[in-house]
Homo-oligomer: A and B are copies of this chain.
Amino acid sequence: MQLMSEKGAAGGGLRERKKRATRAALAEAAVRLAAEHGADKVTVEAISAAAGVSVRTFFNYFDSREDAFVVIDADAGARMRRAVLDAPAALSPLEALREAMAAELAEAEQQHELWRLHAEVLHASPHLLARGVGAHMAAEADLAEALAERLRATGGGATASGLYPRLLAAVAGAAVRTSVDHWSAHQQEAAFLDVFHEVFTLLAAGLPAPSA
């Protein structure tokens, strides 16, 4: 089992705040060390030392060493869930999802340097990249549930036992990963939001062959 604050957003108690700080310190130390020495040369002991806690405590926060490189922001899923639920009813499901994700990504931009390092680390070791992809699955399941709820609220009937929302969440996740990866590789050529927008346009059009 994993120690996790019950509340996704800013909690008042000192305990909660300290825990979040420790977690953030561990994650940041892991990413910075990995960016410098390569992810597979960074031991749990080094990460723990850099964050000022014991090795045993590291494992109170992360289930495995690699999770420290992968899970940057544990609350992102909860925030997106809220954003989907609070989206204007006029938006289509895909649009609501796009807006929620765009907002989340814009927030990530605020810690630009760390985010950049993180992308660099993942890109340097495909093994971690794969793990990162898998890590988004829990968030996707959450999103699917939020989408299903939104659909019920906006009047859609029984949506074929939930296939549609799950597909939507999974596809949107794939879209975000593709956008980030593509932008990461062509960073100078295009702004991230442009790539992101193009990807969702393609999705909404049903992925037609790009006629010349």
Contacts and interface: CB of A to CB of B under 8 A. Distances in A.
A129 interface: yes
A15 B1 CA distance: 44
Contacts of A160: 198, 210
B151 A126 contact: no
A211 B156 contact: yes
B186 A178 contact: no
Contacts of A163: 178, 182, 195, 198-199
A212 to B, nearest CB: 4
B174 A171 contact: yes
A170 B63 CA distance: 27
Interface of A: 63, 92-94, 126-127, 129-135, 137-138, 151, 154-157, 159-164, 166-168, 170-171, 173-175, 177-178, 181-182, 186, 189, 195, 198-199, 202-212
